[in-house]
Structure 1
Amino acid sequence: MDVLCSLAQRQGEVVTRRQLIDMHWGSQFSGDESLTRAISRLRKTFKSAGAKEPYIETIPKRGYRLRQVVLGFEDQCGAVDDEPEEEVAAEAPDRTKDASMPPGYSVAVVPLRVSEGTAEAALAEEIGCDLVQMLSRAPNLRVAAYQGWCAENMGALGADELGRRLNVHYLVSGSVRRFAEKQTLRIELIDTISNRHIMSWKFEETAANFLSNLDDFILDLSTPIVCEIQIAEASLAHMREPDEMDARAAVRSTEILRQAYSSQRAAEIVAHLEDLITRDPDNGVVHASLAAQLTQNVVSGWSKTPPADFARAELHIKRALKIAPRDPDVLASAGIFAFMKRDDEAAVQFLERSLKANPNNPHALAVLGFQRGITIDHQAGIEMICTAEKRAIHHPRSSVWAMYRGCCHLAAQELDSARQALREAIDRNPNYHLPYVLLATALILEGRLAEARDMILGGREVNPEYTSCDWAGLLETFPELYRKYLKKSDLVKQICNVWINDMIVCQ
């Protein structure tokens, strides 16, 4: 209603997104997403009330305008300050409206630099071609064919000009050098539109080991490249109107919210995905993403009706698999859902199929490592999670991966390592309560009840609605975390001793 009042106050005029966000959300991280959702809800309300034409008009690269005449409006919102034209001019170009701009989710690998007259040229070309092949396995990422002519022109052309000629948003370049017995590979990712250096990686190994491990090197490079592009695109998509991007890009935009993951962020993700389904009901990726989030909400103790949300998630997964049975993102979400319901066999099948189709999905790798690490092979699972963390250090889910690793250490009876991993999870995202709860569990298993109580206090500050019943339910879902140490009845008694109020612990 506040947004509608602001638009009504300036009926017939453009009110920019920046103005509306500053007025009603200030510096809150969720301002862009919340404004988009508010506009969407207003449009739905007008439509359901019988509107025959759009009441709110989107002005590309500017904001919104209320098209209808307003009668009897009293000033309740205060004046909307005019915004200087310079700020409008500084906004990022709208690629969806400008045909001359390259597609957003696109990349090219240009020939790697080598010392003149060296024997590294063939190796550099092999690495470049292999990177193109591996990047092309990421769903919907447009990868330009490997262009040898760039090698002769890279010195004269800047990244922006190369991007324009190759019609891509991002460039991957780098160098291969050999010094004595050491082989060094450097890779950098560049945004060609802003001419900005995003990330760089360096690998150094003996020449013999470098060649023997080349396939692993390529995977260790392609996965973080894809992840950094996805993060960059999520940031951009978060600023765009939903109608200006496809559903997969809209789903990617929710990933940016996971960097400060909390119950509020989870609710925003669910609302965003539900809105996408109303606009695109036949998109399997959206159904699968919503199913995974609903499942996560149940496990995290955020769901008010766990059985109903699990049932909803199952319906969305079935719908997704019917629409897109081979899509690696759909398969990954199906694996996550199956694992959280503790259908371990189905989880492994879905996750392995997802990784076979797209080896560049570190979250699927981390979840598969979690499943294996608490059930089949502790060390193999931990190594898989560590690989995901190494390949995608800036991934929005990295804090959750550290929590997964801590759980695997608990199952392996490695309490010191478990505590360290769970503290890492808290450091990476102090807004998520489950690492506090799991660290309290580890401390209980060591008999450190006072420290466990302090940890639960920290978790309750983050999520005051979390209950002892939620804690007991989590441990019942994952008995591998404690059954080598204590019987369930004994653990419940310890939870009673640690819990910070008089609530009854679920038996």
Structure 2
Amino acid sequence: MTILEGDRACEARGTSDVSRVHSARLRVGAFTADPSGNRLECSGVDYPVEPLVMDVLCFLAGRAGETVSRDELIEHVWFFNPYADESLTRAISLLRRIFRHDPGGRAYIETTWKRGYRLTADVRMLAPARHLPTYYQAPALEDEFAVAVLPFRRQSTEESDGFLADGLTRDLTMLLSRVPRLRVAAYSSAQTVREGADRAPVISDRLDVRYLVSGSLARQGENFQLRVALMDGVDDAQLWAQRIDARLDQFFSVQDKIVLDVSTSLSSALHLSHAAALQQRKPFQLNAYELVQRAEALRLHYNSETAHEIVTLLEHALELDPGDGAVHAALAVQHTQNVTSKFCDTPAETFSLAKRHIDAGLSLSPHDPEVLAAAGITATMMGNARLAVRHLRTALDLDPNNAHTLAVLGWQQCWLTGEEEGLRMIETAEERAPHHPRFSLWAHYRGHCEIRLGCAERAIDAYQDGEARNPGYSLNLVTLAAAQAVAGRTSDAHSTLLRLKRVAPDYRLEDYIGLARRMTYWFGERLTRKAMISALADAWHTLPAD
């Protein structure tokens, strides 16, 4: 299929349920590999394997027939861990032990002396397995970062509308209570106040919260209208508002989606508003987690300068509280992003530092969804999509309100399977939280997914969205130029590369090649790694001399 035919196919694709997450299954010789279940099956017998052992197999399967060096495997699966050599030897041994059960007695993994390993078995993709998320409760902390959901007002005479309004109040209270470190006033406490009888500061003081959520439900013939607003009770100001219109006969079928849409938007608005309030204070007045929130707000205008400012804030936070897992996790994410964006000069050392921070974060806070999401993002930047998906799924199960977790999970899921559900997840995040500090990055992720799906023109559109949201972000310019080049838009690619040279004069073609090789699942059958590198190289080498 040509690139043009691929883009035409992209025009015809339909919608799908983003709540269903696929995980591709493989046929490896006589065995069926189920990565999501971490098991191999042959002749009706199941062979469970450890997740990292399955990661080794999936990496080899993605390069079936090629010799893969031990260093590549260690970098991909163990994140540059200098002590992983013995673990890799053990993983290969465990896989070979299982593969000996092949009825045909074939050898599956060949050792190439002093080079690495080669998977010699035939590999093909099978139908994906389904994964449906389950949900758990997460703890909430932080006194000032607190909210109350006031009783939704019924704006009609229908008695049944009162039950609907009460249900929305309960559901929003429940979902927001799963946002890490956000303290949510109990439903019973919020029921003791009536909006309109007192001003917001009085209600805020009575419930001991800073933020208030108010809403109303109105019936209009066969339709209903839901209005929700977020208020700062201390400053007596409205911070955010949303209106949803739908048919009444669809209410129950869309109720869960509506509530999740609203709670995700509220969560994003709460974080952004709280971070804005923190910007007005001196850094030494903030606690460790408040410094993390302040650092997050800097992503609204992300570039090399703000990236290094984020590291400075987070290192200060770590000095204040070395035992805060969320701080370690945030530092891990930033260090890996600095490598990916070429905002640092020592990538191997920076990746190793990030790995130490994320290990510390997971050790200190193994059930914190923010830490788990950070572990997923760290794995993403290091090129391990399978590990990223595992962490991100768990994080989203614990806190379904985190739009960034949803977006990164969608990106990585699309990379793994080459299917569109992941793309829909990114689009859902964009719809729910357009004011999120990482909103500009989500268009960048969409572009990556379109490359994976073979749709060069759609990738260009997505990268241009990202450029409009955050002008001058160097990595977005690199990927935009590559998409333009492979689509045959050489003049556009030249213009983009000239802008890149102004923004990041030290960026080299070799940097892009290294990134493309590390991001294992970035490319598909229509837009391959070789094609993308070759197209960008052709555009790069025909640029006028400096």
User: Which TM-score bucket, shorter chain as reference?
Assistant: 0.7 to 0.9
Contact in 1 for aligned 2:447/2:461 (Cα 8 Å): yes
For structure 2, which runs of at least 5 residues remain unmatched after alignment? 1-141
Name which of structure 1's ranges 349-358 and 203-212 shifts more when overlaid on structure 2: 203-212
Q: Structure 2 vs 1, CA of residues 322 and 103 (structure 1 numbering), >3 Å: closer, same or farther?
A: closer
Say which SS state the counterpart of residue 187 (structure 1) adopts: strand
Aligned to 1:441, which of 477, 482, 485? 482
Separation of aligned partners in 1, 2:285 and 2:181: 17
Separation of aligned partners in 1, 2:529 and 2:404: 30
Paired letter, 1:378 = E
Give the match for residue 28 of structure 1.
none
Paired letter, 2:318 = I
Give the match for residue 231 of structure 1.
272
Separation of aligned partners in 2, 1:104 and 1:210: 35
Aligned to 1:278, which of 319, 341, 344? 319
Say which SS state the counterpart of residue 165 (structure 2) adopts: helix
Contact in 1 for aligned 2:482/2:535 (Cα 8 Å): no
Paired letter, 2:203 = L
Say which SS state the counterpart of residue 107 (structure 1) adopts: strand
Give the match for residue 364 of structure 1.
405
Give the match for residue 475 of structure 1.
516
Q: Structure 2 vs 1, CA of residues 492 and 386 (structure 1 numbering), >3 Å: closer, same or farther?
A: closer
Give the match for residue 329 of structure 1.
370
Q: Structure 2 vs 1, CA of residues 258 and 500 (structure 1 numbering), >3 Å: closer, same or farther?
A: farther
- Deviation (angstroms), 1:454: 0.7
Say which SS state the counterpart of residue 525 (structure 2) adopts: coil
Paired letter, 2:411 = F
- Deviation (angstroms), 1:245: 3.1
Paired letter, 2:152 = L
Q: Structure 2 vs 1, CA of residues 179 and 456 (structure 1 numbering), >3 Å: closer, same or farther?
A: same
Aligned to 1:110, which of 150, 170, 185? 150
Please give the TM-score of this superposition, normalised by the length of structure 1: 0.76
Give the match for residue 33 of structure 1.
none
Give the match for residue 117 of structure 2.
none
Q: Structure 2 vs 1, CA of residues 138 and 485 (structure 1 numbering), >3 Å: closer, same or farther?
A: same
Q: Structure 2 vs 1, CA of residues 495 and 194 (structure 1 numbering), >3 Å: closer, same or farther?
A: same
Contact in 2 for aligned 1:453/1:500 (Cα 8 Å): no
Q: Is 1:404 matched up with 2:445?
A: yes
- Deviation (angstroms), 1:427: 0.3
Separation of aligned partners in 2, 1:152 and 1:271: 43
Contact in 1 for aligned 2:287/2:320 (Cα 8 Å): no
- Deviation (angstroms), 1:176: 0.2
Matched residue count: 403
- Deviation (angstroms), 1:433: 1.4
Contact in 2 for aligned 1:445/1:485 (Cα 8 Å): no
Contact in 2 for aligned 1:135/1:143 (Cα 8 Å): yes
Paired letter, 1:184 = Q
Task: Report percent identity of matched pairs.
Answer: 37
Say which SS state the counterpart of residue 187 (structure 2) adopts: coil
Q: Is 1:422 matched up with 2:501?
A: no
Say which SS state the counterpart of residue 499 (structure 1) adopts: helix
Separation of aligned partners in 2, 1:413 and 1:493: 16
- Deviation (angstroms), 1:244: 3.2
- Deviation (angstroms), 1:374: 2.0
- Deviation (angstroms), 1:464: 2.1
Q: Is 1:170 matched up with 2:211?
A: yes
Give the match for residue 389 of structure 2.
348
- Deviation (angstroms), 1:328: 0.7
Name which of structure 1's ranges 143-152 and 130-139 shifts more when overlaid on structure 2: 143-152
Give the match for residue 466 of structure 1.
507
- Deviation (angstroms), 1:287: 0.6
Give the match for residue 297 of structure 1.
338
- Deviation (angstroms), 1:485: 3.9
Separation of aligned partners in 2, 1:296 and 1:200: 32
Structure with more relative contact order (C-alpha pairs < 8 Å, separation 6 or more): 2
Contact in 2 for aligned 1:287/1:316 (Cα 8 Å): yes
Paired letter, 1:112 = F
- Deviation (angstroms), 1:415: 2.2
Contact in 2 for aligned 1:112/1:174 (Cα 8 Å): yes
Please give the TM-score of this superposition, normalised by the length of structure 2: 0.70
Separation of aligned partners in 2, 1:385 and 1:469: 29
- Deviation (angstroms), 1:242: 3.8
For structure 1, which runs of at least 5 residues remain unmatched after alignment? 1-101
Give the match for residue 192 of structure 1.
233
C-alpha RMSD of matched pairs (Å) = 2.1
Q: Structure 2 vs 1, CA of residues 490 and 223 (structure 1 numbering), >3 Å: closer, same or farther?
A: closer
Q: Structure 2 vs 1, CA of residues 479 and 422 (structure 1 numbering), >3 Å: closer, same or farther?
A: same
From the two aligned structures, give the one with the greater strand fraction.
Answer: 2
Contact in 1 for aligned 2:440/2:470 (Cα 8 Å): yes
Give the match for residue 134 of structure 1.
175
Q: How do 1:299-314 and structure 2 match up within 5 A?
A: 299-314=340-355
Q: Is 1:288 matched up with 2:344?
A: no
Paired letter, 2:344 = S
Contact in 2 for aligned 1:445/1:482 (Cα 8 Å): no
Q: Structure 2 vs 1, CA of residues 148 and 114 (structure 1 numbering), >3 Å: closer, same or farther?
A: farther
Q: Is 1:454 matched up with 2:495?
A: yes
Paired letter, 1:327 = D
Contact in 1 for aligned 2:457/2:487 (Cα 8 Å): no
Contact in 2 for aligned 1:170/1:190 (Cα 8 Å): yes
